[in-house]
Structures are given as structure tokens and as C-alpha cells.
Structure 1
């Protein structure tokens, strides 16, 4: 590599002492050495700051203002040409930052390079986490290329581009990635690539995952209305149709216990839901076998149902709450 631009790794953190050592160890083992580490602890009550103090990083402490504000604070203190955002529950592959810099050097039109979570969890604590890890991996791998949604738990932005765009909207702590990605795409390209990869510690409890996905779906509604288009990448038309079949199956399920006709209709909707993303299930079957695939299908139906009702709630709120309706319009 002819030049070695400084890469500022910004790590927002809130009570991730479990995963933090692996996250920071992965930075110590990067093949690319021209980095600085900016650790923004957002009011943790565990020993995260103590752990970070054992590593060569600059520590900034804030008062639980959310991930978007923590990332913005990190960039404001960054010296590098490239800012690499890394959540504290992700451990990078050794070549991740080097490959990121190479992608920027190959294509000057890139404003951002985002990575993909590996198909192996950082800590595999449950079958639910195994489901979530494989599902996230497949959706991102199948979307590899130029996209509009960012993944800034594991992604880089040119600092000049970040400053030009004004950073993340700090009121968005569940959909800030897609919003920032769409603004970036107005003048730059965003690359999603498997060359930048890390292991992620995902949710391992179904209730916790369902709550997160419901809220994420709810917040998508005003975003779509104001941007007037879906994100380019893993949100495919077929997957959208699949969600509609899940919604129909939710309505049919109570009646299916009393009527063979409704049971048949429910099973038909379930089959169409599976067909709408068939590649995902064949991937899981090859990776984990038949019985886990059955578990995967059932769990994915539950999570997709939760997302469907999140969208329904979002639509109702969009038409009844001016504050929610303007959430993405002004970034306030």
C-alpha cells in the first residue's frame, strides 16, 4: 500500500464489558497498523471503562445520550481521514480495516464501506442467537454490493463525507444507519462487502430480539414516507410480500383451530412465506441440518410477525402523531 491514511476507529459503548475485550483484542491484531482507537463510553455502569483503560485508546465519557450521539462525539475527536465505526459487541477479522482502506483507494466515488457479520456468533448463547446470526449473515451476503442502508456497527465513512452530511441524527437510535445511508447515497456510493467482516454477539433472548425488531419496523414507516423509496439491499420485494403473507397468517391462525378451511389457508400463507425467501432456508439447511431449519422457520415466522405489527403500529402512529410523522423529515 503506497500510502497509509490514518483510520480512526470509533467504538460507542454502553455496558458491554462481556464483549469489549474481544472487540479491543481484534483491533490489536489488525494487519493495518495506522489506526487510532476512540472509545466513547456512554454512561456505562459496569467496568467497561476499566477494561478499555488497559488498551491504547482515547477514552471519552458521555452521559447516556444514545449511540448516534456517541458516534458523533467520536468523530468530533477523530484525527483520521477515514472513520471506522465499530460497536463494542463486534470483533473484527484481522484484515477488516486493511480491506476497508483498499476499497476506498480503488474507488474514489465511495463515501462509505460497510462490512458483514460472520455466520458464527461472537458468543453463541442460545438457539435464538444462532438463528439471528445466520439470518443476518444470509441477508447481508445476499445483498452484497452497492446498497443504500448503512451498517455502522461495522462500517467506515470518509471523515470529509461524514462532516459534509452533518453526522447521524441523534434522535434516531434504532434506524440511524438507514437514514444516514440514504443521505450519503445522494452524492456518494455505499459498498457492502464480505471483505470487511467481524463476529457479532447478537440478542440471545427471543423477547429481547422481538422488542428490538418491532421498534425498528415501527420507525421505518415515517422514513419510507419521507424518502419515498425502500432501501436498496436486503429489503427485497419478495421479502416484503413474504411479510404480507405472515400478516395474513396471523389473522388466520385463531380461526384455523376451529375450521379446516382456515387451517388450510393458514398453511398456504406459511408456505408462501417460506417460498418468498427460499434461498435463506436452503442455506440454513446446508449449515445446520433439518431440525434446526424447522426451528429457524418457526422463529423467523415469529420475528417477521412482530415486524409486521410494528409496521401496522407505525402506520397508525404516522397518521395520528405529527411528531412521529416529522421524525425523519427534519432530523429532529
Structure 2
């Protein structure tokens, strides 16, 4: 088991306690501390695990790669240090890999409730993450590595994580997974996550991930491929969530068309119509919020979802624009993949 950590003294004890309470005892536990400045290392010392300590901060990709290099065994289970696994999470992961020999990645979902309840921002974020991960349970087309198991030979074949990336590195990993391997999301593999709980850090995280996603995933879909296309019976490419795209465009264009009201009051119908597109596109999530938390939370979740779309639209737009400019400069394009672990 590999646990990357940076300044998570609030959650690392709960994370490790849950790890050692697994019904299937992990063969070993490797914590990679990415130059924490809090009490994380002292807390880790209370557990019988291997600690790899970075002298300088290198990012989660480097931490996961270092943990995988240090760990033995045929299966690597990655779990973030702000997650407390359900007692049977490891057993579920191993059973899934055993029952599906073509599976190269099995990833879990977040519990509906956070590890620690720290306010409405976290409540929304946790509900959203739980909803879309559970909805996509089964065969998936993209990878997430907050709580994910990978056979070692598959991890080494892919080449590990791109250490240049500090956001969207888990999604980028999946773009290099050979199409002959399945990606599975298991709704029985669960962890309680201590998520971001303040508005500005939440928006900043969204924006950074959108910037990276634009270059590492969106434009990579159209980049020249150095290897032949996967066979017709291989795994489908990274799926575009059309409802999310519709909600994102509806939200952004609704804001952009508000000035039409100054031309004619009748033109207010344009942004209102686009707002309707946003609401229809996200109706499943919003209905789930209403069912779980009631009408007041529904209004809050609607506003948060609208803000999420606007932030992601801004990040994707800037990221795609910057990436295109960079790729027009000879020799300036960022390689889309790594050939070997770093």
C-alpha cells in the first residue's frame, strides 16, 4: 500500500488506522512524506510502516512513484493520506482484480459523508464526488488515484506518473494505459474523504486542474500518436461527459449573454434559456442533492455547481489557448506521455 502525504497531520492518523484495520491485512505500508512542515512524520512514526521522506517538495506524482519503487508485492494500492478506507476496501480491490483478469486499474468511490464535516463547501464537494463516482461504477474510461489498485506489472508498463504534473496526473496516467486493459470503478471499494472545505481553495483547485487537464488530456486526444491506434476490441477512449459539457457551456454562455438585456429587455430570454440548459444538464446531480439534503441545500448546490462550471470553463479555455500557442513553437510542446518511470 502506497500513501503519499503532504501536511496532512489532521487526517494521516485516521488514514493509517483504517489501513491497519483492513479485513485483508496489507503486506506492507509505505508512506511517502513530501516535505511536510507539520507533525505528519511524528504521527506516521507511531505506526509500523515504512516512511520515505523527501527533503524538498516534489509533488504527488513523484511521491507515488517513489512509494511504488520502494514497495514490494504484485499489487499496488494507492490511497491518499486524507482518506480513511472502509474495512473491506483492500479485499474488494484484490477480489475485483482476481475476478477480472483483464482489469489493469480498479478504483474506489468516496463515501457520501466526509471524514470530518467542516462546512457547506465540503458538504457539496463530497456529495458531488460521491454522486459521479458511484454513477460511473463498472467499466470506466478514465483513472482516479485517490484510492486505486494497480497490478505492479501494469504500473511499470505505463511508466508511472508524470512527475511534471501536480494536477490531473491521475487522469493523464490513464491516457497511457494500453487499451487492452480494463479500468473498473467499484462502488464497494469505499473511503471517507476529508475534502477541501473553503471556497477559495476549492475554486483554485478546480482552476488548476482544468488548466492541466486541457493540456494533458484534451489536446492529447488530437496529438499525433507514436504508436498504432488500439484494436477495435480494445478499451474505449476517454469518454466525454456530454451533460457536463452542456452544463459548462450553458453556464458560461448565460453569463456572457447577460449584456443582451441592455439591447432589448426581450433578449433576457437568451441567458434564461441558457440557464435552463445548465439546469437540465445537471438535473441528476441536483435531484440527488435534493433527495439527500433537502430544498435549502439544493439551492446552495445549484449555485456551487454553476460556479464550478464557470471556473472550469475559464481554466479549460486558458489552458487550451496556452497549449496551442506552446505547440505552435518548434520544440516547445510538452510531451504527452512518459516512456519510463521517473
Structure 2 length as normaliser, TM-score?
0.89
The residue correspondences of 1:188-227 to structure 2 (distance < 5 A) are: 188-222=181-215, 223-227=217-221
Count, aligned residues: 322
Q: Is 2:21 aligned against 1:15? A: no
The residue correspondences of 1:200-279 to structure 2 (distance < 5 A) are: 200-222=193-215, 223-228=217-222, 231-232=238-239, 235-254=240-259, 256=261, 260-279=265-284
Q: In 2, distance between residues paired with 1:257 and 1:200?
A: 46
Give the structure 2 partner of residue 295 of structure 1: 300
Contact between 1:319 and 1:325, CA under 8 Å: does it hold in 2? no
Give the structure 1 partner of residue 336 of structure 2: 329
Give ranges in structure 1 of 5+ residues lacking alignment. Answer: 1-8
Per-residue CA deviations over 1:87-125 (Å, capped at 9, x if unaligned) read 000000000000000001101111111000111011111
SS in 1 for 2:58: coil
Alignment partner for residue 38 of structure 2, among 41, 46, 66?
46
Q: In 2, distance between residues paired with 1:184 and 1:304?
A: 28
Give the structure 2 partner of residue 164 of structure 1: 157
Q: Is 2:133 aligned against 1:140? A: yes
SS in 1 for 2:123: helix
Structure 1 residue ranges, 4+ long, deviating more than 4 angstroms after superposition: 254-259
Return the offset for 1:267: 2.1
Instruction: Give the 3 Å change call, closer, same or farther, for CA 230–314 of structure 1 in structure 2.
Output: farther
Return the offset for 1:164: 1.5
Q: In 1, distance between residues paired with 2:20 and 2:207?
A: 36
The residue correspondences of 1:114-133 to structure 2 (distance < 5 A) are: 114-133=107-126
Return the offset for 1:264: 2.9
Instruction: Give the 3 Å change call, closer, same or farther, for CA 128–34 of structure 1 in structure 2.
Output: closer
The residue correspondences of 1:298-317 to structure 2 (distance < 5 A) are: 298-317=303-322
Return the offset for 1:252: 2.2
SS in 1 for 2:305: helix
The answer to which of 128-137 and 317-326 deviates more is 317-326
Instruction: Give the 3 Å change call, closer, same or farther, for CA 290–315 of structure 1 in structure 2.
Output: same
Per-residue CA deviations over 1:161-213 (Å, capped at 9, x if unaligned) read 11121111111121111111121242311101111110111111111111111
Q: In 2, distance between residues paired with 1:256 and 1:23?
A: 52
Q: In 1, distance between residues paired with 2:137 and 2:143?
A: 12
Per-residue CA deviations over 1:47-67 (Å, capped at 9, x if unaligned) read 100000001110000121100
Give the structure 1 partner of residue 168 of structure 2: 175
Q: In 2, distance between residues paired with 1:204 and 1:255?
A: 36
Instruction: Give the 3 Å change call, closer, same or farther, for CA 207–256 of structure 1 in structure 2.
Output: farther
Per-residue CA deviations over 1:250-285 (Å, capped at 9, x if unaligned) read 212355588533433222211210101211111111
Give the structure 2 partner of residue 320 of structure 1: 325
SS in 2 for 1:253: coil
The answer to which of 280-289 and 180-189 deviates more is 180-189
SS in 1 for 2:116: coil
Q: In 2, distance between residues paired with 1:220 and 1:325?
A: 18
What RMSD in Å do the two structures reach over aligned CA positions?
Answer: 1.9
The residue correspondences of 1:45-84 to structure 2 (distance < 5 A) are: 45-62=37-54, 63-84=56-77
Contact between 1:243 and 1:305, CA under 8 Å: does it hold in 2? yes
Instruction: Give the 3 Å change call, closer, same or farther, for CA 97–196 of structure 1 in structure 2.
Output: same
SS in 2 for 1:36: coil
Contact between 1:218 and 1:313, CA under 8 Å: does it hold in 2? yes
Q: In 2, distance between residues paired with 1:276 and 1:288?
A: 20
Contact between 1:113 and 1:193, CA under 8 Å: does it hold in 2? yes
Give the structure 1 partner of residue 289 of structure 2: 284
